[in-house]
Every structure is written in structure tokens, then in C-alpha cells.
């Protein structure tokens, strides 16, 4: 019993730490939902002889360096109208809801969909003319080849394909299955890279002999990569050991999450503490090659918006565990990221939830230490929330927006600067995991 206690104690502490880090997040995202701010990543076939054939289906803009799939939508107005028809006209909002969600990003929509599933009255208020937050796109019309749809936000997805068994560690897939919605996807196993070192084809064999890393940095870098993946294996297993749906913000987590604690005992329990550390700590123990570090910084940035020293290891453990497993498959949602938004919107509306577009929130009302409602910009109308107001804004955007009184929060939270590394680590967990 004493031995079991010593083994399980670190896991209990880890569980509590993960709960504290992850539960406050209102942004439920897939492990590979990433902002494609680096425009050099293009969906591409691995066979170089097929590049010309592939260019018929993928538009590659040399100036801007990003790729898109051809869209059947003829113009932007038509695309906007299509989105509006899915969201629908909900009329005027009621005076009171159980929960109000500010912002219709993927996190806010996921939150609203789950609340509606469990019978709460919920309303989402969005300033933009379309739902989706960063999951938007735009179109470019080429006179010779037609119209192409560009995703400006999330572009990399894994685990969404409804024809492939889901993993319990995939939060977005968990939400979609819970609300009974599918996102049809086209699978692909490779994509093109246009880097300062040259143009390459990325596959799950990136760090193997003959792969991109070998071509750029040689055998030493390949050896370091293999060591890094070996170091990440037990961490990926620890992340997969606890389904995200089992996490709660109250004492109920003892019931929902405790049953999975034995899964952590399969490895060294003290390794689990590494999950809450910056990923750079793991990288620096195995990797010295500059190109490899730059690549890992890019992957971290795509996942969390921060480099390796600001990205929590748990995020990368999940990503590396899928991205570089043999025969890894990426998912391209048919219709782009907006297809995910449409699915979440359907899940909200079919259970009585409402989404109000062009409805800017001027203020989150705080009374007696709790958020009690919102004030809209239009007509300064006040909408009350019986149970909660959920913000889909990032923490730093929320505090800088002026819609909430920062005096209601501890100074140690509101007063931190953007350069605070510990702040980056915690917020990366909230936004990306």
C-alpha cells in the first residue's frame, strides 16, 4: 500500500494541476486546430511527379505562399449568404438565458453546443456578420481556373474524420460526437513546405533517413529527432490516458476522472510532471540542431500561437503523438474550417440555442462578484444570465477589450505583461489544448 501511495501521489497532483489549467478554458479545440499564420505550408502530394496534376486541384500562390482547395462558391457574397442561412435569423434575443457566450469562435460554439445538449438555454453573441471567430476564409477568383477558398485561421486538423475511429484525447471530435454532428473530411498524408532551405514534401517520415530533416541537416539531426520522439512517447501516453471529457471544474472530477488514474501508472509517474512544463525543456534535452528547433518552434506556433518556450508540453505530446506516428493522416474538412463551424451551429440550433450575429457586446456586467449578464452596443440593451457568462476571447484580449471591469479580478492576473513566460505557458494551455 505504501508503494502504491508513492506511485499514485504524483498522478493525483498531476490530475489536479491539469484540471486547474484546463478547466478554465472556454476554448475547446482539436489537437491540430492551428492558426496558419505561416503561409508556407501547403496541402500537397508526396509524389513529386504528381505536382503538375495536383496543381489542377490546389492553387499555389508564389507571392503569398499558401494553398487552397477549389471552392464551388462563386463569390464572397454567396459565401456570406450561405453562412448566414445556416446561422439563421433568431430574431430579438430574450431578456434572460441560463448561459450567455460572448464570441462565436470554435471554443465558444463548442461550449454553447454542449450546454444546449444538457438542456440549458444558451445564446451566443457575435460582433461579426458570420460565426466562426478565427475560422474564417476568403476567396480569390482566377480567370483561368475558377474560384478558390482560402482558410485564414485553422488549417491543420487531425482526428475529425468521422470514418476513422475517434480518440478520447481529441476534444473537438468528442464534442461533435456528443451533439451528433459530422464533419466530412478529405484525408491526406503529406503537404508541401517552402522554406529558406528549399522546397520539400512533408510526411510522417520527416525525421527519418531520406526525409526533410535528413536532407537539410544530416544524420546527426535524424538521430536527435528519434531521441526526441522516444522521450515524447510516455508523455503522449499520459495525455491519452485522461479523456478531456472527464475533466470537470468541481468535486465531480473525482468521479469522472479518477477512474482513469491507473492509466498513468503504466509509465514513470514523475515523468507526468513534465506535461505542465514548457516544451522547450523537452526539446533542449535531446536536440541541438538549429533547423530542428526552428521547425518545432513553427509547430508550436501553429498549435498555440507561441514558440516552444511558451507552449505547454502536454499540447505537443498530443500533437507529436499523432503527427509523426506511422501512416499519420491529416484531415481537410470539405468546405474548409467553416464546415466545422456549420456543424457546431447546427448542434446549437437543433436543441433550441440561439446565435446572434452583428451583436457587439459592449460590457460584461459584474454584480456582487459574479458575471450576471451583458450589455449590447445596439440600443444598450441588457441581457441577463442566470448561471454564467462565458467569454470566448483569450484572457489577454478580454482584459484589454474594455468590456469587463478588470478591478473585479486579482491584480496578479490582470497586471502581468505579455512577456511573462509563465503567463504564456498557462494561457497556451487554455487556448490550445
Cell of 363: 460590457
Helices (H) then strands (E): counts for the chain: 15, 15
Q: Mean pLDDT check: name the lowest of 90-94, 225-229, 369-373.
A: 90-94
**Nearest to residue 100, comparing CAs of 359, 360, 350, 372?**
372
Are 160 and 331 in contact, with CB atoms under 8 Å apart? Answer: yes
**Which residues are within 8 A (CB) of 116 and not within 5 positions of it... i.e. 6 or more apart?**
122, 179, 347, 348, 351, 352, 353
**Which residues are within 8 A (CB) of 110 and not within 5 positions of it... i.e. 6 or more apart?**
27, 28, 29, 171, 172, 175, 344
Please report the sign of the dihedral spanned by the C-alpha atoms of residue 248, residue 249, residue 255, residue 261.
Answer: positive
Q: How far is CA 409 from CA 8, 319, 373, in A?
A: 35, 33, 17
Q: How far is CA 270 from CA 11, 17, 98, 181, 433, in A?
A: 8, 13, 41, 39, 21
Name the phi and psi angles at 378, rounded to 5: -70, 120
Taking 90 as the threshold, does the pLDDT of residue 251 lie above it?
no
Taking 90 as the threshold, does the pLDDT of residue 349 lie above it?
yes
**Nearest to residue 102, comparing CAs of 341, 309, 313, 392?**
392
pLDDT tens readout for residues 102-112: 999 999 999 99
Q: How far is CA 376 from CA 48, 359, 363, 364, 407, in A?
A: 54, 7, 7, 9, 21
Q: How confident is the model at residue 281 (pLDDT cuts 50, 70, 90)?
A: very high
Q: For every residue of 134-191, which 3-state class applies, written as one string? A: CCCEEEEEECCCEEEEEECCECCECCCCCCCCCCCCCHHHHHHHHCCCCCCEEEECCE
Spatial distance between the Cα atoms of 156 and 353, rounded to a whole number of angstroms: 28
Spatial distance between the Cα atoms of 262 and 268, rounded to a whole number of angstroms: 12
Q: How confident is the model at residue 244 (pLDDT cuts 50, 70, 90)?
A: confident
Taking 60 as the threshold, does the pLDDT of residue 381 lie above it?
yes
Q: How confident is the model at residue 369 (pLDDT cuts 50, 70, 90)?
A: confident
pLDDT tens readout for residues 16-38: 333 333 333 333 222 222 222 22
pTM listed for this prediction:
0.72
Q: Mean pLDDT check: name the lowest of 83-92, 287-296, 303-312, 315-324.
A: 83-92
Spatial distance between the Cα atoms of 360 and 109, rounded to a whole number of angstroms: 16
Residue appearing with cell numbers 482584459: 399
Any bridge partners for residue 191, and if so which? 43, 202
Other C-beta atoms closer than 10 Å to the C-beta of 50 total 11
Tally of CA atoms within 13 A in the half-sphere of 221 that contains its CB: 20
Are 319 and 277 in contact, with CB atoms under 8 Å apart? Answer: no
Amino acid at each position: 500500500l505504501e508503494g502504491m501511495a508513492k506511485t499514485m501521489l504524483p498522478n493525483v497532483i498531476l490530475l489536479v494541476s491539469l484540471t486547474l489549467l484546463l478547466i478554465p478554458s472556454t476554448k475547446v479545440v482539436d489537437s491540430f486546430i492551428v492558426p496558419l499564420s505561416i503561409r508556407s505550408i501547403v496541402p500537397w502530394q508526396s509524389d513529386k511527379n504528381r505536382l503538375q496534376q495536383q496543381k489542377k486541384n490546389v492553387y499555389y500562390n508564389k507571392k503569398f505562399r499558401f494553398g487552397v482547395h477549389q471552392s464551388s462558391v462563386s463569390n464572397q457574397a454567396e459565401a456570406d449568404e450561405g453562412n448566414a442561412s445556416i446561422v439563421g435569423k433568431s430574431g430579438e434575443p430574450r431578456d434572460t438565458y441560463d448561459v450567455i457566450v460572448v464570441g462565436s469562435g470554435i471554443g465558444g460554439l463548442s461550449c454553447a453546443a454542449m450546454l444546449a445538449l444538457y438542456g440549458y438555454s444558451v445564446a451566443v453573441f457575435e460582433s461579426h456578420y458570420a460565426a466562426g471567430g478565427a475560422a474564417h476564409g476568403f476567396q480569390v477568383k482566377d480567370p483561368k481556373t475558377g474560384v478558390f477558398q482560402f482558410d485564414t485561421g485553422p488549417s491543420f486538423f487531425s482526428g475529425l474524420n468521422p470514418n476513422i475511429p475517434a480518440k478520447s484525447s481529441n476534444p473537438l471530435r468528442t464534442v461533435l460526437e456528443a451533439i451528433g454532428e459530422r464533419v466530412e473530411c478529405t484525408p491526406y498524408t503529406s503537404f508541401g513546405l517552402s522554406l529558406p532551405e528549399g522546397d520539400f514534401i512533408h510526411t510522417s517520415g520527416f525525421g527519418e533517413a531520406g526525409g526533410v530533416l535528413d536532407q537539410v541537416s544530416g544524420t546527426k539531426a535524424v538521430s536527435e529527432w528519434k531521441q526526441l520522439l522516444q522521450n515524447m512517447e510516455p508523455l503522449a501516453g499520459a495525455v491519452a490516458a485522461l479523456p478531456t471529457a472527464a475533466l470537470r471544474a468541481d468535486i465531480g472530477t473525482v468521479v469522472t476522472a479518477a477512474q482513469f488514474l491507473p492509466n498513468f501508472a503504466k509509465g514513470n509517474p514523475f515523468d507526468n510532471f513534465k506535461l505542465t512544463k514548457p516544451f522547450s525543456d523537452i526539446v533542449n534535452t535531446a536536440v541541438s540542431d538549429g533547423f530542428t528547433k526552428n521547425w518545432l518552434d513553427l509547430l508550436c506556433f501553429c498549435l498555440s500561437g507561441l514558440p516552444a518556450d511558451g507552449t505547454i508540453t502536454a499540447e505537443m505530446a498530443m500533437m507529436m503523438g499523432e503527427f509523426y506516428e506511422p501512416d499519420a493522416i491529416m484531415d481537410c474538412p470539405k468546405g474548409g474550417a467553416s464546415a466545422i463551424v456549420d456543424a457546431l451551429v447546427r448542434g446549437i440550433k437543433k436543441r433550441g440555442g440561439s446565435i446572434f450575429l452583428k451583436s457587439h457586446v459592449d460590457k460584461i456586467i459584474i454584480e456582487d462578484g459574479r458575471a450576471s449578464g451583458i450589455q449590447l452596443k445596439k440600443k444598450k440593451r441588457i441581457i441577463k444570465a442566470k448561471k454564467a457568462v462565458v467569454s470566448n476571447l483569450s484572457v489577454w484580449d478580454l482584459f484589454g477589450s474594455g468590456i469587463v471591469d478588470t478591478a473585479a479580478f486579482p491584480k496578479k492576473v490582470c497586471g502581468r505583461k505579455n512577456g511573462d513566460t509563465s503567463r504564456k505557458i498557462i494561457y497556451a494551455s487554455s487556448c490550445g489544448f
